[in-house]
Structure 1
């Protein structure tokens, strides 16, 4: 997955940063990890992940004839039950699908995570196809908050097209989803470039503090909430789907969506 990084990466550090299970032999943690692993096995998690990928790929290729989907490798990791942020703030899920051909998903088997497992998988699949060759180019130095927010909205809406309400990222509260002030605040940051500030604008203040970024006054999952509203407005206006819009530029989506939500159409993106 990290073949492009000169000299590679320290996989133990990557594992920890992605909230992976502790590997330092803590007895209490070990007991919880065994129990968590048993719960994933009992839930048939790996087979469900595989089936969800197949269903998601079929939906994307049906919506976009000729769409090329990369060879996919997926890593399902049991999370760290001793990490309060992972367990309580983001409710046992962390995913990354932004590198073409590779998806990593870290979970703790909270009931809602097990219920949403397929939706979590196809959310990351949508990201992966969006940023694969022939799609949107993600340059870490120049990519904007607007692109990231739109991508989260598209991925959630795609998951919702397949799985209904289970498609929506579960660590985002209903209050955050409906808050116009949150939407406006996130929109004010659309022109911010570079990935270093994305935690602040997309994940919210709690994650920003954790990752060493400057909080900007947003609740957890604010960017997901804003993204879903923007993408919903775009889809309603154009009569399209999140599947068929997998590689639609964020500028095109924002140009349509922002005025429909009462926001300035000239917001930077």
Structure 2
């Protein structure tokens, strides 16, 4: 198994030396091209003549090459040796947590990088300035506006994304069914909590209290578990604020409802079954949900 850690700080510094009209090409070559297979699986093109392409996607939450200035060096410099070592160690610890239980991973090469988040992005702000993308085996993006708060949580974010990355080596994504996404996010955050502590649980769990979970989130999600495609499921997973940002129709749910529900559902499942989070990660959504029908009551 090999970790290909792409240290983006050197690329951002190089971008600052280039004329604005030459920056996108270098950004794509150095930071996005290693992930081309991931984007191909997601049907996201590198061809900027196509209206929704890889740079359009990056623009939702990230500091884009054309917008970089010398003032951003303060953020870039926080992607230092210690930062990259933290990511490396979090990745290795997460993988070891599975392999030490006799789980043999199918994926041998892993490409990982961290990108500068755009502090002006509503999507970045609502997630308290950090996020991740690890749903395609072998590829993990971390995105953050670097500061003390986000850097302290980058190891937990890496563990969360590693859990997704490992799960989807064994379990079918089911075209983004709501039940799968709720279960997957719950598994990932419970794994991150095991690895790096309850104090580093993400805002996608902590922003909703138990009363909101039990009176608003659970009843609506219970009635929607049959949704079997990502487009319909996303408003229930992300909640109304993010849905509106993405131009969708709100469904009457608070921020990150599916994440919050998934976290508590998986915690209930683990306590009931006595199963380890690593073993549970390899279970299908149906296998897990069949054991916790009373959770919804």
Aligned residues: 252
**2:284 is aligned with 1:245:** no
Partner of 1:267: none
Partner of 2:76: 37
**2:50 is aligned with 1:12:** no
**2:278 is aligned with 1:236:** no
> What SS does structure 2 have at the residue aligned with 1:40?
coil
Of 228-237 and 7-16, deviating more is: 7-16
Partner of 2:90: 52
Cα shift readout 1:99-124 (whole Å, capped 9, x = no counterpart): 11111111112433211111100100
Distance 1:75 1:178, change over 3 A: farther
Distance 1:222 1:176, change over 3 A: farther
Partner of 2:249: 214
Aligned-residue offset at 1:41: 2.5
Matching residue within 109, 132, 142 for 2:146? 109
Partner of 2:19: none
**2:135 is aligned with 1:98:** yes
Distance 1:12 1:66, change over 3 A: closer
Aligned-residue offset at 1:81: 1.5
Partner of 2:109: 71
Instruction: Please say if residues 197 and 214 of structure 1, whose CA atoms lie closer than 8 Å, have aligned partners that are also in contact.
Output: no
Distance 1:22 1:213, change over 3 A: same
Separation of aligned partners in 2, 1:117 and 1:246: 21
Aligned-residue offset at 1:75: 2.0
Taking only aligned residues, the RMSD between alpha carbons, in angstroms, comes to 2.2
Cα shift readout 1:172-219 (whole Å, capped 9, x = no counterpart): 335445530222222222111211133311111111111122211111
**2:220 is aligned with 1:190:** no
Separation of aligned partners in 1, 2:254 and 2:43: 35
Name the structure with the higher helix share: 2
**2:239 is aligned with 1:201:** no
Partner of 2:194: 161
Instruction: Please say if residues 174 and 180 of structure 2, whose CA atoms lie closer than 8 Å, have aligned partners that are also in contact.
Output: no
> What SS does structure 1 have at the residue aligned with 2:143?
strand
TM-score by structure 2 length?
A: 0.78
TM-score by structure 1 length?
A: 0.85
Instruction: Please say if residues 21 and 79 of structure 1, whose CA atoms lie closer than 8 Å, have aligned partners that are also in contact.
Output: yes
Instruction: Please say if residues 237 and 257 of structure 2, whose CA atoms lie closer than 8 Å, have aligned partners that are also in contact.
Output: yes
Instruction: Please say if residues 79 and 106 of structure 1, whose CA atoms lie closer than 8 Å, have aligned partners that are also in contact.
Output: yes
Separation of aligned partners in 2, 1:209 and 1:154: 26
Partner of 1:257: 292
